[in-house]
Amino acid sequence: EYCGPGIEKLNKLKSENISVVVKDFYRKPLVIHQGHMQWLFDHEGKRYLDLFAGIVTVSVGHCHPTVTAALHQQIDTLWHTTSIYKHPKIYEYVEKLSAKFPGDLKVVYLVNSGSEANDLAILLARAYTGNHDVISLQSCYHGYASSLLGLTATQAYRFPMAAPSGFYHAMLPDPLRGIWGGCRDSFSQVPGACSCPGDCVTSDKYIHQLNELLENSVPKGRIAAFFAETIQGVNGAVQFPKGYLRKARELVKNYGGLYVADEVQTGFGRTGDNFWGFQDHGIQPDIVTLAKGIGNGFPLAAVVTTKEIADAHQKASYFNTFGGNPLAASVGKAVLDVIEEENIQQNSKIVGKYFIEQLMELQKSYPVIGDVRGKGLMLGVELVRPGTKDPLEVIGVADILEMAKDLGVMIGRGGRWNNVLRIKPPMCINKEDVDFAITVMDKVFKVFHEKN
Ligand code: PMP
């Protein structure tokens, strides 16, 4: 039973003690009190199907019993030591995590957040290459730290002040809105996805632009790294034309830079076919960054790289008080156990495919649904002004999200115009949950169409 402060008191505390930049997602703010697997419960006991999973973070289910038990066991034994002593849980975890990676990606740094992981990845790339500059994609989100304000390109997170120097943003190879269009990558489960026999022809055009950047903007030979997600998360499940990431990696490597795969959202089986998103593209990164789903909601993140790159780091020492503490490592290991024992990746693939097919059916009835995309349980539904490709106004999107929430389904949102519904639930959801979500969305779109 909920015994915390009432909503008026929470609102007062928020206005007095919490920064104005922390926004409530819903117009009528939700007080979330409990969670169990794919469900959340508010302070009045109302149940919601959680399709956003604490922003793609709760990977195997809220308060999953195996993960909770592992945490309890460790809480009663030892909380903290720092990495200056050897703790078996940390070593066991690092062994298990590194075994999930192909090739020579074997050295693991445990940290506390995705931002910290990407910040460290920049440092490693710079230390190894001796170069400074970094390229990422337009509209990307790679974290929020002052060092990352150049890397992250999402407008909403950029301050009206000079960003750190040496960051460039390549044109986003966006099949829907990029100037050269493109088809979905061939790995997509979307029926009728890319039919190009080899790489999508548009990928060469976007690669040409990346080449221009390397030739004309980055000081010659000074590229340290190219950062990309394998499907953009915050930007609303944007997938790239077939071949783009592979060619971008080759190109950047030819110029002396490393390829960093940000798997903060796409990792741990979320895309269904493979454990890591980069494997969907058949490419091998030099550095991989992990966060969110790695800890199922517990603060844990990691950077994984090769021994050769990590060795370049010896130019200075490295210390992180909480990075890889026994509690986080116990949780991380339990998350990997659950993913294996409960066939979570397979579930993402099967339920994700079912979900996208149902969403495509819904699209046939509602012209406000401009695009349905994604892979596994990393899905996006882009809302447009009916009959056009223009993004639906923010207020219309908010109406839709609010109605769905009132009917018991919590959906995320993102995209450059904040008009993409983001569906990235805990990966334990099943087909009945999808049926429920689709019934609710059908009702919501019907009401929306009658009103507009
Ligand atoms: N990379 C990606 C792709 C993300 O989506 C996020 C968070 N939304 C981050 C990095 C940063 O993670 P954190 O919020 O844990 O710092």
pLDDT in tens, 138-149: 999 999 988 899
Cα 330 to Cα 53, 147, 256, 309: the distances in Å are: 21, 30, 38, 27
Q: What is the pLDDT of residue 191?
A: 58
Q: What is the pLDDT of residue 277?
A: 97
By DSSP bridging, strand 47-50 and strand 409-410 are: parallel
Q: Among residues of the chain, what percentage have pLDDT more than 90?
A: 83
Mean pLDDT computed over every residue of the chain: 94
CA pair distance 335, 339, nearest whole angstrom: 6
266 lines ligand 1 (CB under 6 A): no
Q: What is the pLDDT of residue 184?
A: 67
Q: Using 50, 70 and 90 to split pLDDT, how confident is the model at 159?
A: confident
234 lines ligand 1 (CB under 6 A): yes
- pTM to 2 decimal places: 0.97
Half-sphere exposure (Cβ direction) of 31: Cα atoms closer than 13 Å: 15
pLDDT in tens, 39-77: 999 999 999 999 999 999 999 999 999 999 999 999 999
pLDDT at 97 over 70: yes
pLDDT in tens, 281-299: 999 999 999 999 999 999 9
Q: Which residue's CA lies nearest to atom 10 of ligand 1?
A: 142
Q: What is the pLDDT of residue 115?
A: 98
Ligand 1: which of 137, 142, 263 to mutate, judged by most atoms within 8 Å of the beta carbon? 142
Residues 6+ apart with CB under 8 A from 401: 25, 26, 411, 413, 421
Which DSSP state fits 172? P
293 lines ligand 1 (CB under 6 A): no
Q: Which residue's CA lies nearest to atom 7 of ligand 1?
A: 143
pLDDT in tens, 231-266: 999 999 999 998 999 999 999 999 999 999 999 999
pLDDT in tens, 224-238: 999 999 999 999 999
Under the phi-then-psi rule, with left for phi > 0, alpha for psi from -120 to 50, and beta for the rest, what region is 442? alpha
